[in-house]
């Protein structure tokens, strides 16, 4: 028995030596002949690997990923090497006579302990990365991110700036009626804007179901959970536009709620922020203004496109939500209509509560739009103050 | 009792308490579900053939991903293993039948009802379950279509069936072994099933609890999973994965047993490290209870929890590695031939190991922040489930079919089936690693343009794989209807009591216990 164990061990060692040489040869020859730029470009186009990203953390994660990957490759080469060796050499058709050995405590011990050691080698860098990722202290900018079915809301804490970010890819592109643009499904009306080289902390939560906020280039992925606030952070090194998607199934339009992050130089960011604040001021002023029917209709159409199409259809014909053409609340008393828009539908979680998602101008416009679009022709209209009065009186 | 054959007509199947009849019914049922789940998968792959929405709406797409997962896990893979257990365990331990034959009949016959109920939800108003096979709350509670109640009831029935099946298997193994068949002489298929049955009994009630809490939230005003009412959506995930993680081992441990039977036969050499195989199986089963939260690395656990679940998960690589090394050593210096069961078994070892590698990568929590909920995960679990669980079932069918029906299958056709499946499956699932790493989330009906090429390849592979399984059906039916007569041993000196009885195995075997060496 002992003899067999030894024989096996030495044989194993020999095979091991053979197969270990192979990939080294392969790799050096690839390097020697040089992967041409064209090959690299082609690989890039197909997207073979994880992005290295643009933050220190994303680089670290990429390195960790490659480390584990290569360890797995090597183990695979050894194990499959031995396997193929015996499948070729030890065939009955080439007259192989089966050996009789069926156990060896020494070998068993070795292949329990060596993998355990390799695991420890992997666990050390993994642990240190994780500790870094979990340290969200000393952030300079705090942004609250709220997942909604199916859009993201960004709120710059302490800055009085808050907005929604919706998919802008037109339905025609999705349904193949128009050619698809370069950033098909990865484009939004308002991206999240952050400065480079500053620690930005994200406070992530959700309003309805679970979502997950994920931008590969930042290596940030955190679940957005109603009732909980998760945090994550990033420091982006290079200005640029980085795209991601919701990563947790959140219903029908889960595939249609992308994330776009625009990282800018600090000065540009300051400008942008100032502009945003001004916009907010203007909006406040506009709340007491009176709009014409055409203004309301045009604005309402935009609001409808961004917030309602997913459920009520491009022409109000319905889908997940009921038809809005010529029936029900849309062509009923206007107060009931405001009520549905501000408070949602009691007992139905699918129709969102828009009272705190849309501002009074948008609410007034979208209601006006619906009541006059698609042949509804109700002829009535609402002003932002009407919404304000409604909210006050309830 | 005496020696009597099966009853005539449909009554034979409805009232049977014979382990072989029930095993056959499980296997046929499982194959029917495999085809149904496969059709759902092909709907998914057809829609994903190109970017844009062509064939189905997102709403229906989500129902397809959900039903595909549920049907494959609970309808195809699990019943197939129970069917194999029914057929083989009594014959392997030298018992005349299962310990609880009437319950055996019952645990099979409630399954068709469960799946009819589940499938019928697709025709209901609001559509079928559309929240993924993991049915995370609150998407599956507050936001679910009304059919969710039927889904819950169906899951309860499946759970009851599994629990009854497991009790039966444990009782058979512990009480009905022939004299001399000590625990450490049992074939590994029996061992792995014994451990699997314990896992099932431990976790199916947890799943039942989970869906019952959903039911309460939906209909009786509780708020287990609703933050608005003081509940916790993350609790759902903990409960689900406390069931779900052992569940994935439930689907792979019996496969380990099958492969451990087939490789020695065709390497003509005893299994290397039998005892360590048993211990490794037990360790994997134990670890499977303390790694559940690796499915939840991004929910925002405290770092201590994150580290614990990362380390525990990495540890699973050790006993799993031991198994792979043992199989390779069994082949080493053997005298190998490559009949169809062996081809499937070898592909199992290689491709399951690849699935194991991606599993190891996923266990690294920081890297998982990039992998989680992408196609990389889809690639990973399909590599352990398709060339893992499903290939082992194919291997088992080719290996034992001659014993079941007395005819040899056509080796040329069997090999063709193997190669078609092998190519199809790799074309389907290998590219998913790439699109996943490049950033494609799972469960989306439409995708950005850079993922188009690989998705196209995957869809073509899926259709190849799908149609190869119709070919498999043809091969099996052809074999049952005729062909070269199998000898009692079938193979070249295989080990195990099942090869000592006639081929086809008589309706009743081992009415007197066989001698065990
Ligand atoms: Cu989402």
Residue B2 or residue A315, greater confidence: A315
Predicted structure pTM score? 0.88
Terminus-to-terminus CA distance in chain B, angstroms? 28
One fold for both B22-232 and B252-503? yes
Answer yes or no: do A79 and B54 touch at CB < 8 A: no
Q: Are residues A389 and A307 located together in one domain of the fold? A: yes
Q: Are residues A76 and A167 located together in one domain of the fold? A: no
B320 is catalytic: yes
Parallel, antiparallel or unpaired: strands A220-224 and A258-264: unpaired
Give the pLDDT mean for A315-337. Answer: 85
Q: Are residues A320 and A273 located together in one domain of the fold? A: no
Say which residue the tokens 């699918």 belong to: A350
Q: Are residues A153 and A266 located together in one domain of the fold? A: yes
Report residue A240: phi and psi, to 5°: 165, 180
B442 is catalytic: yes
- Residue B115 is predicted with a pLDDT of 96
Report residue B491: phi and psi, to 5°: -105, 180
Cα–Cα distance measured from residue B366 to residue A219, given in angstroms and rounded to the nearest whole number: 9
- Measured between beta carbons, the chain A residues lying within 8 angstroms of B372 are 212, 221, 247
Indicate the angle between helix axes B253-267 and B317-331, nearest 10 degrees: 20
Answer yes or no: do A185 and B446 touch at CB < 8 A: yes
**Stretch among A255-269, A340-354, B10-24 having the lowest mean pLDDT:** A340-354
Parallel, antiparallel or unpaired: strands A192-195 and A258-264: parallel
B97 is catalytic: yes
Total tally of structural domains belonging to chain A: 3
- Residue B334 is predicted with a pLDDT of 92
- Residue B516 is predicted with a pLDDT of 85
- Residue A43 is predicted with a pLDDT of 63
Token pair of B111, please? 């399954």
- For chain B, the domains span 22-232, 252-503
CB B190, CB B196: distance < 8 Å: no
Q: Are residues A322 and A248 located together in one domain of the fold? A: no
Give the pLDDT mean for A316-338. Answer: 85
| Other beta carbons within 10 Å of B167 | 17
Of A77, A93, A109, the residue that ends a domain is A93
Answer yes or no: do B300 and A227 touch at CB < 8 A: no
Q: Are residues A24 and A86 located together in one domain of the fold? A: yes
CATH number where A234 lies: 2.60.40.420
Fold of B252-503: Cytochrome C Oxidase; Chain A (1.20.210)
- Residue B194 is predicted with a pLDDT of 97
CB B84, CB B396: distance < 8 Å: yes
Q: How far is CA A58 from the centre of its chain?
A: 15
Cα–Cα distance measured from residue A385 to residue A37, given in angstroms and rounded to the nearest whole number: 62
Q: Are residues A299 and A271 located together in one domain of the fold? A: no
- Residue B2 is predicted with a pLDDT of 45
Residues in contact with A89: Cβ distance below 8 Å, sequence separation at least 6, in sequence order: A96
The beta strands (E) that lie in A272-392 are given as none
How sure is the predictor about A310, in pLDDT bands with cuts at 50, 70 and 90? confident
- pLDDT tens digit string along A131-156? 999 998 889 999 999 999 989 999 99
Question: Nearest to residue B294, comparing CAs of B264, B276, B320, B316?
Answer: B316
Question: Nearest to residue B23, comparing CAs of B509, B516, B513, B418?
Answer: B509
- Residue A1 is predicted with a pLDDT of 41
Of A224, A247, A277, the residue that ends a domain is A277
Q: Are residues A266 and A365 located together in one domain of the fold? A: no
Answer yes or no: do A249 and B52 touch at CB < 8 A: no
DSSP state of B387: I
Of A45, A184, A231, the CB nearest to B51: A184
Cα–Cα distance measured from residue A128 to residue B262, given in angstroms and rounded to the nearest whole number: 44
B323 is catalytic: yes
Look at residue A165 and tell me if it is in a domain: yes
- Residue A329 is predicted with a pLDDT of 86
Q: Are residues A270 and A318 located together in one domain of the fold? A: no
CA distance A34 to chain B (A): 23
- Residue A2 is predicted with a pLDDT of 45
Would you put residue B373 in left (φ > 0), alpha (ψ -120 to 50) or beta? left
Residue A21 or residue B359, greater confidence: B359
Residue A364, pLDDT > 80, answer yes
DSSP line for A300-319 = HHHHHHHHTHHHH-TTS--S
Q: How far is CA B303 from the centre of its chain?
A: 33
Question: Nearest to residue B434, comparing CAs of A63, A373, A50, A139?
Answer: A50
Q: Ligand 1 centroid to B132 CA: how many Å?
A: 14
Look at residue A108 and tell me if it is in a domain: no
Q: Are residues A330 and A241 located together in one domain of the fold? A: no
Sign for the pseudo-dihedral over CA of B18, B22, B24, B25: positive
Cα–Cα distance measured from residue A56 to residue B366, given in angstroms and rounded to the nearest whole number: 13
Q: Which domain holds residue A373?
A: 287-393
B260 is catalytic: yes
CB A226, CB B233: distance < 8 Å: yes
Give the pLDDT mean for A239-259. Answer: 94
Token pair of B405, please? 């029906």
Residue A15, pLDDT > 80, answer no
| Other beta carbons within 10 Å of A322 | 18
- Residue B299 is predicted with a pLDDT of 95
Look at residue A298 and tell me if it is in a domain: yes
Look at residue A70 and tell me if it is in a domain: yes
What percent of chain A has a predicted confidence (pLDDT) above 90? 53
Whether the CB of B484 is below 8 Å from some CB of chain A: the reply is: no
Residue A114, pLDDT > 70, answer yes
Q: Which residues surround ligand 1, an ion (CB under 5 A)?
A: A 211, 246, 250, 257
Question: Nearest to residue B472, comparing CAs of B30, B8, B137, B99?
Answer: B30
Q: Is B337 exposed, middle or buried (0-12, 13-18, 19+ CB in 10 A)?
A: middle
DSSP line for B317-356 = HHHHHHHHHHHHHHHTT--B---HHHHHHHHHHHHHHHHH
Look at residue A169 and tell me if it is in a domain: yes
Answer yes or no: do A80 and B273 touch at CB < 8 A: no
Ordered mean pLDDT values, 10 residues apiece, chain B (517 residues): 68 91 96 97 96 93 96 96 96 95 95 96 92 94 93 96 96 95 95 96 96 95 91 95 94 96 95 94 95 95 95 95 95 94 96 95 95 96 95 97 95 96 96 94 94 94 96 96 92 92 92 87
Residue A392 or residue A142, greater confidence: A142
Q: Are residues A291 and A272 located together in one domain of the fold? A: no
Look at residue A357 and tell me if it is in a domain: yes
Interface ipTM: 0.91
Question: What value does the mean pLDDT of chain A take?
Answer: 86
Look at residue A341 and tell me if it is in a domain: yes
CATH number where A388 lies: 1.10.760.10
Residue A19, pLDDT > 50, answer no
Question: Nearest to residue A156, comparing CAs of A194, A186, A118, A130?
Answer: A194
CB B386, CB B446: distance < 8 Å: no
Look at residue A121 and tell me if it is in a domain: no
- Hey, which CATH number is domain B22-232, 1.20.210.10, 1.10.3720.10, 3.40.50.740, 2.60.40.10? 1.20.210.10
CB A143, CB A193: distance < 8 Å: no
């Amino acid at each position: 028995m002992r003899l067999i164990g030894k024989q096996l061990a030495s044989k194993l060692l020999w095979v091991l030596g053979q197969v270990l040489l192979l990939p080294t040869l392969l790799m050096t020859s690839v390097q020697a002949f040089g992967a041409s730029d064209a090959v690299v470009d082609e690989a890039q186009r197909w997207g073979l690997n994880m992005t290295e990203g643009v933050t220190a953390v994303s680089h670290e994660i990429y390195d960790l990923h490659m480390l584990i990957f290569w360890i797995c490759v090597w183990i695979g080469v050894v194990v499959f090497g031995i396997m193929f060796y015996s499948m070729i050499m030890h065939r009955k058709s080439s007259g192989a006579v089966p050996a009789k050995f069926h156990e060896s405590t020494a070998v068993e011990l070795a292949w329990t302990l060596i993998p355990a050691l390799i695991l420890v080698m992997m666990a050390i860098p993994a642990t240190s990365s994780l500790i870094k990722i979990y340290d969200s202290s000393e952030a300079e900018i705090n942004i609250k991110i709220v997942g909604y079915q199916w859009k993201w809301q960004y709120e710059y804490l302490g800055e009085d700036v808050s907005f929604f970010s919706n998919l802008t890819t037109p339905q025609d592109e999705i349904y193949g009626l128009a050619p698809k643009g370069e950033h098909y499904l990865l484009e939004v009306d308002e991206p999240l804007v952050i400065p480079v080289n500053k620690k930005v902390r994200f406070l992530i939560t959700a309003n309805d179901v679970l979502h997950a906020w994920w931008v590969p280039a930042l290596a940030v992925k955190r679940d957005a959970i109603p009732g909980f606030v998760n945090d994550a952070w990033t420091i982006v090194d290079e200005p640029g536009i980085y795209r991601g998607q919701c990563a947790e199934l959140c219903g029908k339009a889960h595939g249609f709620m992308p994330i776009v992050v625009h990282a800018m130089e600090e000065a540009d960011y300051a400008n942008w922020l100032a502009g945003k604040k001004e916009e907010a001021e203007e909006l406040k002023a506009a709340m007491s203004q009176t709009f014409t029917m055409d203004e309301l209709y045009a604005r309402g159409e935009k609001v409808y496109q961004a917030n309602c199409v997913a459920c009520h259809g491009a022409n109000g014909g319905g889908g997940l939500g009921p038809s809005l053409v010529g029936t029900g609340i849309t062509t009923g008393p206007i107060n009931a209509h405001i009520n549905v828009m501000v408070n949602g539908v009691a007992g139905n979680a699918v129709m969102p509560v828009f009272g705190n998602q849309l501002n009074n101008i948008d609410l007034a416009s979208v209601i006006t739009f619906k009541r006059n679009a698609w042949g509804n022709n109700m002829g009535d209209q609402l002003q932002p103050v009407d919404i304000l009065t409604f909210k006050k009186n309830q | 009792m005496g020696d009597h054959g099966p009853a005539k007509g449909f009554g034979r199947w409805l009232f049977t308490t014979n382990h072989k009849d029930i095993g056959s019914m499980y296997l046929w049922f499982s194959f029917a579900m495999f085809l149904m789940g496969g059709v759902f998968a092909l709907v998914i792959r057809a829609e994903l053939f190109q970017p844009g929405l062509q064939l189905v709406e997102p709403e229906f797409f989500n129902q397809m991903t959900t039903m595909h997962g549920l049907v494959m896990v609970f309808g195809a893979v699990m019943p197939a293993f129970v069917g194999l257990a029914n057929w083989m365990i009594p014959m392997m331990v030298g018992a005349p039948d299962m310990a609880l034959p009437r319950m055996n009949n019952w645990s099979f016959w409630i399954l068709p009802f469960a799946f009819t109920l589940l499938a019928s939800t697709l025709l209901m108003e609001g559509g079928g379950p559309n929240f993924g096979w993991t049915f995370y709350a609150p998407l599956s509670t507050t936001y679910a279509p009304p059919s969710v109640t039927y889904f819950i009831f169906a899951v309860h029935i499946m759970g009851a069936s599994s629990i009854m099946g497991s009790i039966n298997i444990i009782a058979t193994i512990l009480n009905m072994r022939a004299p001399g068949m000590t625990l450490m002489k049992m074939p590994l298929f029996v061992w792995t099933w014994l451990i699997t049955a314990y896992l099932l009994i431990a976790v199916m009630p947890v799943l039942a609890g989970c869906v019952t809490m959903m039911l309460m939230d939906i209909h009786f005003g509780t708020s287990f999973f609703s933050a608005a009412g003081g509940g916790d959506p993350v609790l759902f995930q903990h409960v689900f994965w406390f069931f779900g993680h052992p569940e994935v081992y439930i689907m792979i441990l019996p496969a380990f047993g099958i492969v451990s039977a087939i490789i020695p036969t065709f390497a003509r050499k005893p299994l290397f490290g039998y005892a360590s195989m048993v211990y490794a199986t037990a360790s994997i089963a134990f670890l499977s209870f303390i790694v559940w939260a690796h499915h939840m690395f991004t929910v925002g656990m405290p770092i201590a929890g994150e580290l614990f679940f990362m380390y525990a998960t990495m540890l699973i690589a050790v006993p799993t590695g031991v198994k792979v090394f043992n199989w390779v050593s069994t082949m080493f210096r053997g005298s190998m031939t490559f009949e169809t069961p062996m081809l499937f078994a070898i592909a199992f070892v290689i491709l399951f190991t690849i699935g194991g590698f991606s599993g190891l990568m996923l266990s690294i929590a920081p890297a998982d922040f990039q992998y989680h909920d992408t196609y990389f995960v889809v690639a990973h679990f399909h590599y352990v489930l398709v060339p893992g669980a499903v290939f082992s079932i194919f291997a088992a069918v080719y290996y034992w079919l001659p014993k079941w029906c007395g005819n040899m299958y056509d080796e040329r056709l069997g090999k063709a089936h193997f190669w078609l499946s092998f190519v199809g499956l790799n074309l389907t699932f290998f590219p998913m690693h790439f699109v996943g790493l490049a950033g494609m989330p799972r469960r989306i009906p439409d995708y950005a343009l850079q993922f188009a090429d690989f998705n196209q390849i995957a869809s073509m592979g899926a259709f190849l794989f799908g149609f190869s399984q119709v070919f498999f059906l043809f091969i099996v039916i052809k074999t049952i209807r005729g062909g070269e007569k199998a000898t009692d041993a079938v193979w070249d000196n295989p080990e195990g009591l099942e090869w000592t009885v006639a081929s086809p195995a008589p309706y009743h075997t081992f009415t007197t216990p066989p001698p065990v060496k």
